């Protein structure tokens, strides 16, 4: 298991993040603290992600009737190397 920790400290936010990679799964834990006068407001987020094969996702969605288009950019912004975005539409009946 590979783990990375980061801290971003700016006014008025402090953000602590921990990312764990285990095979094709990723777990991100994010704790943010926002200064509100003399106190801090705390927020916690947990993201559980799975890395999937783009062709397999396209086949599975197409198999249940979804129209799928694989994209290499999101609007005008290119994605990181090896990543894909999907535009999925349900056919009109």
How many Cα atoms are found within 13 Å in the side-chain-facing hemisphere of 84? 15
61 and 73 in one domain? Answer: yes
Q: Could you list the residue range(s) of the whole structural domain that residue 15 is in? A: 2-50
State pLDDT tens for residues 20-53: 999 889 999 999 999 999 999 999 999 999 888 8
58 and 80 in one domain? Answer: yes
Q: What percent of the chain has pLDDT over 70?
A: 100
75 and 39 in one domain? Answer: no
User: pTM above the 0.85 mark?
Assistant: no
pLDDT band at 82 (very low <50, low <70, confident <90, very high): confident
40 and 79 in one domain? Answer: no
Res 16: pLDDT: 96
58 and 38 in one domain? Answer: no
């Amino acid at each position: 298991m590979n783990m990375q920790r980061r801290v971003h400290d700016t006014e008025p936010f402090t953000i602590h993040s921990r990312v764990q990679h285990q095979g094709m799964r990723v777990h991100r834990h994010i704790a943010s603290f926002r200064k509100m006068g003399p106190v801090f407001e705390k927020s916690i987020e947990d993201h559980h992600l799975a890395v999937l094969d783009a062709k397999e996702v396209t086949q599975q969605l197409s198999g249940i009737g979804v129209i799928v288009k694989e994209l290499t950019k999101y609007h005008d912004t290119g994605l990181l190397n090896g990543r894909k975005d999907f535009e999925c539409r349900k056919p009109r009946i």
